[in-house]
Amino acid sequence: MGWMQMLAQTYDEHEAYIGEEINGQPMLLPVFHSTVNAQIELTIDYDGNFNPNLTKIIEKDGKEEVTVIPVTESSASRSSGISPHPLCDKLCYVAGDYSVYTKEKKEKYYEVYMEGLKKWVNSDYTHKMIQAVYKYLAKGTVIKDLVEIGILKLDEKGVFADRINKIQGQDQKGAVIRFRVVGEKLGVETAVWKEKKLYELFIKFYEEMYTSKDICYVTGKMEVCSDKHPSKIRHSGDKAKLISGNDESGFTYRGRFARRNEAVSVGYITSQKAHNALKWLLDKQGYKKDGAAIVVWEVHGKNVPDIFQSSAEAYVKYDSMNEIEDFPIEEDIDLGDELEEDLGTGERYAKKIRNAMAGYANKFTLEDNVIMIGLDAATTGRLSITYYHEFQGNDFIQRVQNWHTKCTWWRYFCPQNEKKGYWVDSAPAPRDIALAAFGTERNKGYLQADEKLIRNTVQRLLPCITGGVRIPQDIIRAVVRQASSPERMSEFVWYNQVLTIACALIKYDTYKGEVERMKLTDTENMNDRDFQFGRLLAVLDRVECVTLLEKDEKGKWKDIRTTNAKRYWNAYSRRPETTYKIIMENLRPYFRKMKSSVEEWYQTQIDDIIVQIKQEDFNDRPLGPKYLVGYSIQRNEMKREKEDKQENNKENQEVIENE
């Protein structure tokens, strides 16, 4: 139960956030409260009179319809039967005339709902808002009023016409009603679901209903316990639960225990705190993609590195994490121009990463705990914890720093909402690795893959980032296979989303991150057959590219067809000697189109590389993954040499003009 202890402790550490929406962040729900997606906002005055002008259908935008509501132990986990929420609920509960307009015998739903609301109204914890709601609902005219203003529609028989009128895409019968009460002084909150005083009153009202207590397995104290625990953990429509024991005829607990509370006994308030904290953390800083739900946090609220983003996305804008407040991140420093000036060595960028990590580390003490929890739906109604780990704060920072500074390769990065990008030496995001391994380019510019496959791959990569575990070899092989088939995707996707990631993984796996950057001058690389064959392929590819490049009438580069090097790439990786000869034969016409000086330069490059390969190694033995590294480094070196030559020519021309 370590995860529940940590979540309950996190809830207690953030009391200031309970019931508050601070700086646009999600609300940390009070205990005995949950959320629903409401479809109709029904407005009344404090005398319980219907206001047709302010009553409306709520726009569905993923945020506006989310409504905080008080819940009971039964209603929070209801799946069938009659279990009304205490205030905002579906039409069948709040509308006294529901059966009249649906011909369904559900009068009992309304009666039970009104009985519960009446108890609250008559208690010491009543409020003007719920008194007004009770007065209005007692009239039993909800559907009649909504039909008269056109929100609900009837057919020719005078019953609901669900087929011709949907509300937010669902049947009218299932619409959830929330209330707004107007008529007081201006500036007073009118939205019932936002009234913080109501949160406090309902908590006190509901706490008085508990009498019996049992031992809580989480806290070890005598508490009011429950065998019904919240759902809606990942989102407001999520029915899957982490703790459930409602199968009295199966094998959930029978055979070993006589009663469900013998299997597990959890305090109801402790459970509420833990589940509400988990919802809040997932909404605020969780990773929710491809059906996965994973969150990393520090119990006391200290900011932790985002392990689900690439280095460029997570840190490129931050000069020092010491300048960033824990809640929220307020100051961004754009380093784009500085990085462009330092494309050669990446030292300035590496310094920014170190400064950022140092800023994180300076905030942690030995007592701080960083927690990571991953969730997945085992079935429609069951949620499982697929990953859980507790880290000492400084240890976590060091492991993440090791990943972001050593599993890196040069890639093109363009920040959101900016037209201009730049090259950065960045570690890839876990999801990017999964897409590089198993994705296909269905839409130009994007890789896509099966959600379940991506989700499982991301979860397998997390220990590599946070625990120093070696990258699974099947993932590396899959990325290498993808990178060895450039003809299957566009040039940018192949190079920036597959090849660069393959090189980063190969570098990290081969050298365990012991070198900052693999270079042409490294002795080990110079004697490596695979590395040199990769360099050779880069030169062959470049020969054809520079010959095919042309500009259109507007001065923009035209798209070129796939080069011979890329068409034969896969064959080259399996039979390098034979395929090299085929590519060279096909390149003869392109050499003839070049100026003699350019042709001589490329021939020299080819000869210099071939000399590095031992005669007995120049054969058709398949190439290892490191050939991709050789290709990438040689390609970057040729590009850099070209830029340096252009810059020198420009400087020489300026000198001549000045003379």
What are the DSSP calls for 278-337, one per residue? Answer: HHHHHHHH-B--TT-EEEEEETT------TTS-HHHHHTT-S-GGGS-SSS-------HH
Compute the 3-state secondary structure of the chain and give helix, strand, coil in percent, each to the nearest 5.
Answer: 45, 15, 40
Are residues 447 and 436 in contact, defined by beta-carbon separation less than 8 angstroms? yes
Measured from the Cβ of residue 118, the count of other Cβ atoms closer than 10 Å reads 12
Residues 428 and 523 both lie in one domain: no
pLDDT at 343: 41
Cα separation, 147 vs 140, in Å, equals 13
Per-residue model confidence (pLDDT) at position 340: 38
Q: What is the pLDDT of residue 406?
A: 86
Instruction: Clarify whether residues 342 and 390 are in a common domain.
Output: yes
Identify whether residues 429 and 308 lie together within a single domain: yes
Of 228, 247, 272, the one marking the end of a domain is 272
- Note whether residue 381 is domain-resident: yes
Tens-place pLDDT, residues 507-522: 998 876 454 445 555 5
**Structural domains of the chain, count:** 4
pLDDT value at position 74?
Answer: 86
Task: Compute the distance between CA of residue 483 and CA of residue 613 in angstroms, rounded to an integer.
Answer: 23
Sign of CA dihedral 577, 579, 581, 584: negative
Residues 133 and 243 in one domain: no
- State how far the Cα of 565 lies from the Cα of 579, in Å rounded to an integer: 9
Q: Reduced to 3 states, what is the DSSP secondary structure of residue 119?
A: helix
Whether residue 353 is found in the same domain as residue 299 = yes
Interacting residues of 185 by C-beta distance below 8 A, sequence separation 6+: none
346 and 430 part of one domain: yes
pLDDT reported for residue 500: 95
pLDDT of residue 240: 83
Same-domain check for residues 56 and 165: yes
Side chain identity, residue 619 = N
Transcribe 125-163 into DSSP letters: T--HHHHHHHHHHTT--HHHHHHHTTSS-B-TTSSB-TT
The answer to whether residue 617 is domain-embedded is yes
User: Is there a domain that residue 281 lies in?
Assistant: no
**Does residue 280 sit within a domain?**
no
Q: How far apart are CA 507 and CA 522, in angstroms?
A: 13
Instruction: Let me know if 397 is exposed, middle or buried by CB neighbors in 10 A (0-12, 13-18, 19+).
Output: buried
- Side-chain-facing half-sphere of 399: CA atoms under 13 Å: 19
The verdict on 395 and 478 lying in the same domain is yes
Q: Is residue 100 packed enough to be buried (19+ CB in 10 Å), middle (13-18) or exposed (0-12)?
A: middle
Residue 426 DSSP label: E
Domain boundary among 183, 209, 235: 209
| Same-domain check for residues 501 and 368 | yes
Last residue of a domain, one of 483, 517, 551: 517
Q: Where are the beta strands (DSSP E) in 531-649?
A: none
Residue 295 and residue 393 in one domain = yes
Instruction: Look at residue 25 and tell me if it is in a domain.
Output: no
Asked whether residue 95 is assigned to any structural domain, the reply reads: yes
Q: How far apart are CA 222 and CA 454, in angstroms?
A: 43
Tell me how far apart the 2 most distant CA atoms of the chain are, in Å: 100
Q: Please give the Cα distance from 276 to 33 (Å, whole number).
A: 9
Vertex 562 angle, CA 559 and 563, to 5°:
115
Q: Residue 133's closest CA among 192, 42, 48, 69?
A: 48
Stretch (H or E) spanning 113: helix 107-121
* Residue-wise DSSP of 477-536: HHHHHHHT-GGGS-HHIIIIIIIHHHHHHHHHHHHTT-SS---TT-HHHHT-HHHHHHHH
Rounded to an integer, what distance in angstroms lies between the CA atom of residue 214 and that of residue 222?
5
**Joined tokens for residue 393:** 């704060």
Q: Are 352 and 335 in contact (CB under 8 A)?
A: yes
What domain range is 248 assigned to? 1-17+210-272
φ, ψ at 218 (rounded to 5°): -85, -50
Angstrom CA distances, 77 to 72, 243, 246, stand at: 9, 11, 11
**What are the C-alpha distances in Å from 418 to residues 189, 297, 336, 349, 426?**
40, 30, 11, 19, 19
Which contiguous run of DSSP H or E holds residue 89?
strand 89-90
- Looking at the fold, whether 640 and 616 belong to one and the same domain comes out as yes
| 3-state SS assignment for residue 44 | strand
Q: How far is the C-alpha of 101 from the C-alpha of 158, rounded, in Å?
A: 7
Task: Return the closest-CA partner of residue 4 out of 222, 299, 262.
Answer: 299
Residues of the chain with pLDDT under 50: 186, 317-346, 513, 515-517, 650-659
Query: Residue 648 domain-assigned?
Result: yes
- Beta strand 293-298 with 266-267: parallel, antiparallel or unpaired? unpaired
Give a yes or no: residue 26 inside a domain: no
pLDDT at 354: 66
- What are the DSSP calls for 640-653, one per residue? HHHHHHHHHHHHHH
Same domain? 449 vs 416: yes
Q: Which residue has the tokens 């070993």?
A: 256
Contact 71, 203 (CB under 8 A): no
Report how far residue 284's alpha carbon sits from residue 593's, in angstroms, rounded to the nearest whole number. 59
What is the pLDDT, as a whole number, of residue 519? Answer: 59
